[in-house]
Structure 1
């Protein structure tokens, strides 16, 4: 039997909550039942007082496209991103994971825009229309590099502070931003809790059943796995298999997957994905320019900004859904929620509940 607490610490998923909010989705909607963690008080939007608006319920898949796609030069990248909502509204930045893209937030973004937010959804490096400015730049996907991409994007767009929310790679990136640059993060929504990677800890073996869950990481450590990611048909088949495995109740169709799979055609996609997983396992080097940030992250910094963590109950990567394994890393206003009957791609499977979490975090 897997020791779930040991499993959580070992894989760097983080170390929950004093209370749980249950979220259940039916075939057409997400029903939200809120509960306070008892560790946070309601301060209103930006600490100015006021009650969080209630996000209207929509069926997942109501929206399929983003109407406004833009590009901005930021740091070492030309970042592609979707934007919606009032130009001068409070900013919400939504960060996707792997193997996904901005369409994970295709329903969440308009809900937040209707609530008055300027919503920005960037393609992470190696995805979609985000490209490197120089062919000489290392195709590096270590965690601090990705977080610095988003900070650079905020600088280029003259965004001083934003609510930041994500899942998978996006949660990790948001956690790092909140830990190292808290002055830039108004509030945080982190699916799966504290995901800052501890490379040293990941050298320790897990129980075999737990190792099985991460099969693709070990596949990517081989030349064979790298070749698969460089071959479009094999790559898409692998990514779709991951979708099926990690979201067992999500009845997505071919069109939904194909809209996201288009982002995998980026010429740097394979290099970025392979480097990310090899670096996490200590099998690939990072760049010296990021050493100081990685040293800070290795110390497991706490996060003090207002935070809501989410555990999707059917996500196989979640060792447990009570959040107790990572609760101590969040020292500010805090709440924890469980999305019942939901898998790994929480924002796309439960957009109403995810958007509500963003709004609620902003009002803590």
Structure 2
């Protein structure tokens, strides 16, 4: 396995950095985060129309570039570095992967081209009231019934209705296409909301102002079943999601390291730049180690996602745990090395710190992913009540 970037991948990274360095300055990022959509629509148009970031992992037959989730990870790493708010994670990763994994050919032909070109912003309503993303349906309060009102309904029914609540819907406030996870007596399914305008949406403040969350309430909202039995698909979608978040975290960790190194060259104490002191050199060397190992772990997981490798669950869990801890360490050191200015609103160090805390909760905390990795590797007992497909996966690993 060779993780050196190809010429095309290097060109993608260089282009993204050139665009973001112009359009995602500190002032622009703060302005975009405070705006009504929560991101800069002008920057989003440039990223989608000129760079094609939303199309990277979408197959060519559905209007995409047909590369892989690895290139999407590179784009998210660049966005993470500049702390730029963007619908890329919500629309081109979460919602797009849900549509792709549903296997619904009609929905893929109809929905994915708009997502790929950036004209359609999609969101996946999944988390329950506790802020957890269950793959088995446990705890999910949104439920589905067929058009006749029968709970669970008929898998072949043309139309269903959704009732209940989904929390922490990423970029749900600006989404015009909604995919929802809802439970039925037969399990958990993926549904396309047919009337997005009838969904009640309430913005949820986040510690990281560059991330936008919405609580959605469904009251008999019409929907179409994309995949009535989606437990196995949700496992894959979660793996892709945590890999994407890991790549975002790597970019932010690199930003924290670069900020700290630059500041250590400028800040003078006792007549010397503080970066010349051995103790601080050691701390920044440790930060570099965290960043590089996190990048290696995230890229390995993104490679597995992009190649449909069988080891994706293990690598996704490892990346989610390691990258969350790495960013948490780097963000804390960034604040410490910058001193008092790091906790002021005017300095970007506080954005790095908040990004670490917010993304460390998305799709599970690091300790949860470590526990899952232990189960997958057979070094921890299988949790009680695990879904059958999870038990089969562990058996295969053993």
By the TM > 0.5 criterion, same fold?
no
Normalised by the length of structure 2, the TM-score is 0.27
Normalised by the length of structure 1, the TM-score is 0.29
Larger Rg: 2
- Name the structure with the higher helix share: 2
Q: Comparing both chains, which one has the higher relative contact order based on Cα–Cα distances under 8 Å and sequence gaps of 6 or more?
A: 1
